[in-house]
Structure 1
Amino acid sequence: MRTLILALGLAITSTAWAHNCPNEMQAIDAKLATKPQLSKENADKVAKLRAEGEALHKAGKHTESMAALGQAKKLLGI
C-alpha cells in the first residue's frame, strides 16, 4: 500500500512539474515587459532560451524545457 501511495505521489508531482513550463514562460515574459537592463548578448541568450523552452515544452520534453527556462530566468535575475 505504501508503495502505491508513493508511486501515485511521484506521478502527481512529475505531472505538476511538467505543467509549470507555461508559468515559467509567463514569468520570463513579464520580466521582459519591464525592459530589464541586459547586454545585447544576454538579451539574445534570453530570447533564444525562452524560445527553446517553449519548443521543448510543446515537444513534451518538460525537464529540458524547465532547464532552458531556468537559465533564461537566471540571466534575468529572477
Structure 2
Amino acid sequence: MKLIIAAVALATSSLALAHNCPNEMKAIDAKLMTSPKLSPADMSKVKELRADGEKFHKEGKHDDSMKALGSAKKILGI
C-alpha cells in the first residue's frame, strides 16, 4: 500500500512540474516586458534560457525545462 501511495505522489509531482513550465515562462515574459536593467550579456542569457525552457517543455523534458527557466528567473531576480 505504501508503494502505491509513493508511486501516486511521484506521478502527481511530475505532472505538477510539467504543467508549471508555462507559468514559469509567463513570469519570465512578464518581467522582460518591464525592461529590467540587465547587462547585454545577462539579457542574452535570460533569452537563451527562456527559449531552452520552452524547447525542453515541448520535448517533454520538464525537469530540464524547469532548470533552465529557474536559471533565467534567478538572473532576473524573480
Q: How high is the TM-score relative to the length of structure 1?
A: 0.95
Specify the alignment match of 1:37 in structure 2.
37
Percent same amino acid among aligned pairs? 62
User: Quick one: which amino acid aligns to residue 32 of structure 2?
Assistant: L
**Is 1:28 aligned with 2:28?**
yes
Structure 2: segments with no counterpart, 5+ residues = none
Work out the number of aligned pairs and report it. Answer: 78
Superposition deviation, residue 19 in structure 1: 1.1
The separation in 1 between residues aligned to 2:66 and 2:55, in whole angstroms, is 11
Structure 1: segments with no counterpart, 5+ residues = none
* RMSD between superposed Cα atoms in Å: 0.7
Superposition deviation, residue 5 in structure 1: 1.4
Superposition deviation, residue 2 in structure 1: 1.9
Moved over 6 A (4+): none
Q: How high is the TM-score relative to the length of structure 2?
A: 0.95
The Cα offsets for residues 12-57 of structure 1, whole Å up to 9 and x where unpaired, read as 1111111110010000001011111011110001011100110010
The separation in 2 between residues aligned to 1:48 and 1:38, in whole angstroms, is 14
